[in-house]
Amino acid sequence: MLTGFGPMDIFFNLLISMGVLWFSISIHEAAHAWTALQLGDPTAKYEGRVSLNPLDHIDPIGTVLLPLIMYITHLPMFGWAKPTPFNPWNLKNPKRDAALISFAGPVSNLLIAIVFSIIFRLLHPGGNILGLVLFNIVYLNVVLAIFNLIPIHPLDGFKVVGGFLPKNTYLRWLEFERFGPYFLILVFFFGGSLIQSIVNPVMQLLLG
């Protein structure tokens, strides 16, 4: 997160942080929608979700209110967008294709992190505004990629893991779906240090 000292610095930093979050989440959701379309399901396309326009993906709580609260309380900024819909009946292999659609989101964030880390290393921007913006883009997208791969519903990792399971095990796996929100609360409160221990080595690799 960018930090400043005066009111204008804080406001400017907030705008940049929110802009980076909306940019990253928009690509994440558009990747879900585009992948679903390639696999034969146009549901997200009909709802206008194959789009990089943040307004098509914004969730009032997850994309606006929660990030603002986290910024004000000096927590690492995080959030989510409206879920990208898909109809499994339009997919040739629903279990496998659902996993691919889910996996596309974190992959898009990882690709963003790689591209902007290359730009960072080529430009050597240091501690100026450009350097801070590039660092935030890389950092947030690494966090989004890793966090969304946690195998807890409604995160993408739940369906990604399900795609690798045999049918009988997969049906049992789906039974954990209803407990996902409770597990997710535990991750928010107690899993931060674990996620950070994964994020930091990736950041050092990309920006070292």
Annotated catalytic sites, by residue? 29
Q: Directed axis angle between helix 180-190 and helix 192-207, to 10°?
A: 70
CA distances to 115, 142, 154 from 159, rounded to whole Å, are: 26, 20, 9
What 3-state DSSP class applies to 115? Answer: helix
Measured in degrees and rounded to the nearest 5, phi and psi for residue 148 equal -70, -15
> Which residue carries 């390639």 as its tokens?
38
Measured in degrees and rounded to the nearest 5, phi and psi for residue 70 equal -65, -35
